[in-house]
Amino acid sequence: MSAPSPLEAEALEFIRALIRIDSVNTGDAATIGDGETRAARFVQERLEEVGYTTELVEPRAGRASVIARLAGSDPDAGALVVHAHLDVVPVTAADWTHPPFGAEIHDGILYGRGAVDMKNYAGTILAIARAFRREGVVPRRDLIFAFFADEEAGGVWGARWIVEQRPDLLAGATEAIGEVGGFSLPLGTPGRRAYLVATAEKGVTWATLTARGHAAHGSIPTSDNAVVRLARAVAAVGAHRFRVHRTATLERFLTLFGAAAGRPFGDDPGPDELARLGFAAPLIGAGLRNTVSPTVLEAGGKTNVIPATASARFDIRVLPGQDEALRAELAAVVGDDIDIAWGRELRAIESPVDADLLGVLQQAISAEDPGGTVIPYLLPASTDNKHLARLGIRGYGFIPLQVPDDFDVFGQFHTADEAIPVASLHFCTRVTARILRSA
Ligand SMILES: [Zn+2]
């Protein structure tokens, strides 16, 4: 590997410094520290050092986010939000070979909590923001660099708070780039790689199913036993396979990936067909259809008493535009003698798969990896892009990382010994700088 450029070196330095700031988000006010605010101050100082005006918001002590804007040349162009979150998920230190907040590099691989999720991008965009300012780069559109708290616990004190309380900080923004996507996948031909961009995210909701019957003594069986009826409904859901729903994103994924790999997909790709996606098979598979997972059961308290009610809780992941259809389908599967109470919903999002921005991503990838093809996919999880969508901002998940064919980036999220090759970080810096220059 040739010597890193000053920009690549500064990005790596910031990534390591941010990993060393323990900003674990336990999701619990009683145990959370002030790591997010320390990380936000680190970012703020480095932005102000080169002349940015920054805004640091701290809706709760220790829970800071920081935002800065670089003015573009075209007043008619919508601003682009470039965002990373400053918090990380907890660690079980005993499971780590390398210290989780050590940011150690061994054999060209950086280890630490946040190496991919997502101190890597925070450090990268911080270094690029500084370089642009120092060099007097004037991008076409305004760039809003946003470093959010609390993504890992739903963004309540980060992106969601800013969207609800300080939308002025995101004024004029039409699109956003953040996690999760951008990593390379082999296409089966040497030198040819797919770079997935998340153009959609599944929604999340919970439901509680309740069967109601009559309480009775266990010695005299009843015909409307709530436990039996609930168990039947749970088993029916477990056996039900929701059909593949071809969202615009899935349509584009199957077409482009099939073409790039020289092997088209069928209409309902099964496990064998998905297996050729390697590490990405579960990720893509989860985005094909709505899913319902029974997770919690509650009924009874005494072995000799038939309880009057029995309930089950379900974790439900919904494709864009499928809310009503899913509710109707689930109700039909469980039958009309079971009550369904729906919890709060975080709705799915989908951004246009034909946006000019995707062309910009492709050009930036092509310049650094001539064998690279940018391909939309649906993320079966949630990011801060869901909050930004409430302001009409169309989000894309694209942290460009060229990795060796046998390196599973998605598998690094939230695991022990979270790691990323240093060369991949340098690639991310080069590609992201190209994207932000020409977006
Ligand atoms: Zn993340």
pLDDT of 1 over the 80 cut: no
* Interval between CA 90 and ligand 1 midpoint (Å): 12
**How would residue 72 be classed by pLDDT, with cut points 50, 70 and 90?**
very high
**Where are the CATH 3.30.70.360 domain residues in the chain?**
202-346
Q: To 5 degrees, how large is the angle CA 115–CA 117–CA 122?
A: 80
**Among 46-50, 108-112, 159-163, 278-282, the least confident range:** 278-282
Q: What percent of the chain has pLDDT over 90?
A: 91
* Interval between CA 133 and ligand 1 midpoint (Å): 26
103-133 exposure pattern, b = at least 16 Cβ within 10 A, e = fewer = bebeeebbbbbbbbbbbbbbbbbbbbbbbbb
* Cβ-proximal residues to 37 (8 Å cutoff; 6+ apart), any chain: 58, 61, 62, 63, 64, 149
- Residue 410 CB neighbour total at 10 angstroms: 17
* Interval between CA 302 and ligand 1 midpoint (Å): 44
* Interval between CA 220 and ligand 1 midpoint (Å): 54
**Residue 270, pLDDT score:** 85
What is the token pair recorded at 386? Answer: 């869901």
| CATH class of segment(s) 6-189+349-438 | alpha beta
Q: Where are the beta strands (DSSP E) in 279-337?
A: 291-299, 305-306, 309-318
**How would residue 271 be classed by pLDDT, with cut points 50, 70 and 90?**
confident
Q: What percent of the chain has pLDDT over 70?
A: 100
What is the token pair recorded at 77? Answer: 């162009």
d(CA 344, CA 420): 36
* Interval between CA 338 and ligand 1 midpoint (Å): 37
What is the token pair recorded at 135? Answer: 């060099």
* Interval between CA 118 and ligand 1 midpoint (Å): 5
* Interval between CA 266 and ligand 1 midpoint (Å): 32
Average pLDDT across the chain, whole number: 96
**Residue 267, pLDDT score:** 83
Mean pLDDT of 191-206: 96
What is the token pair recorded at 36? Answer: 């997010």
Helices within 139-213 (DSSP H only): 159-165
Mean pLDDT of 192-205: 97
* Interval between CA 366 and ligand 1 midpoint (Å): 26
**Where are the CATH 3.40.630.10 domain residues in the chain?**
6-189+349-438
Helix (H, G, I), strand (E, B) or coil at 196: strand
Render pLDDT for 208-247 as a digit per residue (tens, 0 to 9): 999 999 999 999 999 999 999 999 999 999 999 999 999 9
**Residue 276, pLDDT score:** 86
Choice between 288 and 75, residue whose per-residue pLDDT is larger: 288
What is the token pair recorded at 409? Answer: 């980036």
* Interval between CA 84 and ligand 1 midpoint (Å): 8
pLDDT of 75 over the 90 cut: no
* Interval between CA 336 and ligand 1 midpoint (Å): 40
* Interval between CA 185 and ligand 1 midpoint (Å): 19
**Among 207-221, 263-277, 351-365, the least confident range:** 263-277
The long-range contacts involving 401-406, CB below 8 angstroms and separated by at least 24 positions, are: 401/116, 401/182, 401/183, 401/184, 401/425, 401/427, 401/428, 402/184, 402/193, 402/195, 402/368, 402/369, 402/372, 402/427, 403/183, 403/184, 405/186
* Interval between CA 411 and ligand 1 midpoint (Å): 13
Mean pLDDT of 79-90: 98
Mean pLDDT of 179-184: 96
Render pLDDT for 302-335 as a digit per residue (tens, 0 to 9): 999 999 999 999 999 999 999 999 999 999 999 9
**Residue 262, pLDDT score:** 87
pLDDT of 343 over the 70 cut: yes
Strands 184-186 and 173-178: unpaired
* Interval between CA 414 and ligand 1 midpoint (Å): 9
Percent helix, strand, coil in the chain, to 5, is 35, 25, 40
d(CA 99, CA 114): 12
Strands 291-299 and 309-318: antiparallel
**How would residue 278 be classed by pLDDT, with cut points 50, 70 and 90?**
confident
Give the type of residue at 428. Answer: C
* Cβ-proximal residues to 129 (8 Å cutoff; 6+ apart), any chain: 47, 50, 52, 68, 70, 143, 145
159-187 exposure pattern, b = at least 16 Cβ within 10 A, e = fewer = bbbbbeeeeebbeebbbbbbbbbbbbbbb
* Interval between CA 213 and ligand 1 midpoint (Å): 44
Residue 127 phi, psi dihedral angles, 5° rounding: -65, -40
Mean pLDDT of 79-93: 97
**How would residue 124 be classed by pLDDT, with cut points 50, 70 and 90?**
very high
d(CA 165, CA 153): 18
Domain boundaries 202-346, corresponding CATH code: 3.30.70.360
**Residue 279, pLDDT score:** 87
Render pLDDT for 5-34 as a digit per residue (tens, 0 to 9): 999 999 999 999 999 999 999 999 889 999
**Among 140-154, 266-280, 393-407, the least confident range:** 266-280
Residue 54 phi, psi dihedral angles, 5° rounding: -115, 160
Helix (H, G, I), strand (E, B) or coil at 430: helix
Type and span of the H or E element at 360: helix 356-368
* Interval between CA 180 and ligand 1 midpoint (Å): 7
* Interval between CA 76 and ligand 1 midpoint (Å): 31
